[in-house]
Structure 1
Amino acid sequence: MTHTLLQAVRRYVETYADPAGVAQTPIPGLTTIRSVTPSGLLHAISQPLVCLVLQGSKQVAMGTQSFSFGAGDSLLITADVPTVSQITSASADTPYLSLVLELDPAVIADLAMQMKEEATIADGTPVRVEPTDAEVADAALRLMRLLDRPASIPVLHAQLVRELHYWLLEGKHGAAIRRLGWPDGHARRVGRAVALLRAEFARPLLVDRLAATAGMSPSSFHHHFRAVTSLSPMQFQKQLRLIEARRLMMSEGRTASSAAFAVGYESVPQFTREYGRMFGLPPGKDMEAVRNWASAAA
């Protein structure tokens, strides 16, 4: 089963991948990824997702925790949290290949209600790695097979995505995933504020507005936001700005000042200081290091 899924993902991503090795599929939230070389460090604030690694290996760090995983493993992220990831094993003959599905809280909530599972409290770790369950791989394979018949996607994809969520809920980390679906749970409330931050990160956002979006008092919001994401709201916004600025410089060739203003900074020196603290180098030297790495990997 895993080998068949590997071949399906390989065929799709080799046909449709962009220059970064990412191929978005017509199925919402489903992405395939390929890399023929180990990667540099990638900073992101990840959305809740499951990543099935089919070939190669990867490492993901969140705070002081680090997770290594390879073919046959699944990475599960159950909250919007800052991560630093790196593909550690990949080559032209044996590329890194993975399949990523964003988790849908509405689907989780509906399934949890139908499954009538008792609401248990999971531990607070939002990043987990476990071997991929056979049922999850089977549902993922059937999703990939829909891509060979585009007319089937609007009719069949929703039920297969729902089935894949079901098997994740039935698995080892069902309690952690189920928490995403609690309509009045802290994770769901914080998620509403996170969505606003993602949409308007370049604008000044008052904590009172974010708290109101989450349906909490400002003090309660601060506490629960940090508990879910490991960051304060303003730290979260700052990281979103810096990650987007780095993307603009890497992908679009923007200057540091242009990228800084585009993401909401009013002071280029402040941007440079905060960029260096997050990525380890000031913008100019970081872009030079990225170009050198890309040249060496080519």
Structure 2
Amino acid sequence: MTVAQTNHDFAALLAYCRRFADAHATPDGSAPTSVRGLSVVRALDPGALQVAVQRPVIAMLLQGRKRVTTPGASFEYVAGEAMVVSADIPTVSQITRASAAAPYYALVMELDPAILRELIHVVADRPREARTVRVEPIAAEVTDAALRLVRLLDQPEALAVLGEGLLRELHYWLLTGVHGPAISALGVVDSHAERIGRAIEILRREFRRRIQVDELAKSAGMSEAAFHRHFRALTTLSPLQFQKQLRLIEARRLMLSEGAEIMQAAHAVGYASVPQFTREYGRMFDVSPGRDIRYQGAGLDSHDDELAG
């Protein structure tokens, strides 16, 4: 594929994603598609810091700029680059370039371990990479496959027939490209990443209830000691810390997006004690729940006292 073709495909991908996001974006800027795990993100101005426990994804930045901090690394990436996160890890991110005239747009696709397992033979002999986050220019083949997929978003009958094949093709190009070493472990049956992934799915699905470590270790087919070691190596967190972050992130969403009161949000995510919830919320987001609600509701940075005054 020539440079001219690549540039044309990238411009077309941006145009299709812009049109879709402008028509379908929710107030938080996300525009989910009918394709499993695929969404477009739009922002009209630089945003506040966002804390999340990130799933394995590829985020293709089409316009704007974003800063991401993970345990042990901090970087910015720009239009034309893709960030691949190959494990469930905590991230702090901030869109740093966006405006009403030139919004931030990104195409985000969750990596599917089932598809990766079907394709892993193509990279079976390649070394795997320890880094869980990698930023590289978007490969021409990835751009081409992504463009053909988003073109089908307004053709549901064609999407139903061709969508799965294009998802599979996207995973193939990722595995065979520069991101392959980082994501290949997700496709290895019975690897540590695959085993820990089973436990992570339990935590994500049932984070509101008290989950014993022995239950998680059993789901991963490991001893408790081995489970703790491999869980922290993959996610940088203990299982308890991981669950706590999931609870607090969901509570913040309930308060800021759905208008839940502090007590309602705390109880909804499994906290029996509101004071404990408030303390842990403050430690994670560096702001109390009440202050966060007031400032976000006013459209202000929750850490800027002068603007609030």
Provide the TM-score with structure 2 as the length reference: 0.93
Name 1:43's counterpart in structure 2.
51
Name 1:118's counterpart in structure 2.
125
Name 1:89's counterpart in structure 2.
97
Q: 1:198-237 to 2 correspondence within 5 Å?
A: 198-237=204-243
Name 2:267's counterpart in structure 1.
261
Name 1:13's counterpart in structure 2.
21
Name 1:190's counterpart in structure 2.
196
Q: 1:57-76 to 2 correspondence within 5 Å?
A: 57-76=65-84
Structure 1: runs of 5+ lacking an equivalent = none
Equivalent residue of 2:299, what SS? helix
Q: Are positions 1:133 and 2:139 aligned together? A: yes
Question: What is the one-letter code of the residue matched to 2:83?
Answer: L
CA distance in 2, matches of 1:178, 1:127: 13
Percent of residue pairs bearing the same amino acid type = 52
Question: What is the one-letter code of the residue matched to 2:84?
Answer: L
Maintained 8 Å contact 2:123/2:175: no
Which one of the candidate residues 278, 286, 290 is aligned to 1:284?
290
Cα deviation for residue 116 of structure 1 reads 5.5
Provide the TM-score with structure 1 as the length reference: 0.96
CA deviations 1:166-194 (Å, max 9, x no partner) are 11111112111110011110011000000
Name 1:248's counterpart in structure 2.
254
CA distance in 1, matches of 2:159, 2:221: 36
**CA RMSD, Structure 1 to Structure 2 (Å):** 1.3
Name 1:146's counterpart in structure 2.
152
Structure 2: runs of 5+ lacking an equivalent = 1-8, 302-306
CA distance in 2, matches of 1:275, 1:117: 43
CA 1:226 to 1:51, structure 2 compared with 1: closer, same or farther past 3 Å?
same
CA deviations 1:31-51 (Å, max 9, x no partner) are 001111111111111100000
CA distance in 2, matches of 1:287, 1:85: 19
Equivalent residue of 1:183, what SS? coil
CA distance in 1, matches of 2:63, 2:181: 28
CA distance in 1, matches of 2:69, 2:82: 15
The answer to which of 175-184 and 58-67 deviates more is 58-67
CA distance in 2, matches of 1:119, 1:206: 37
Maintained 8 Å contact 2:67/2:76: yes
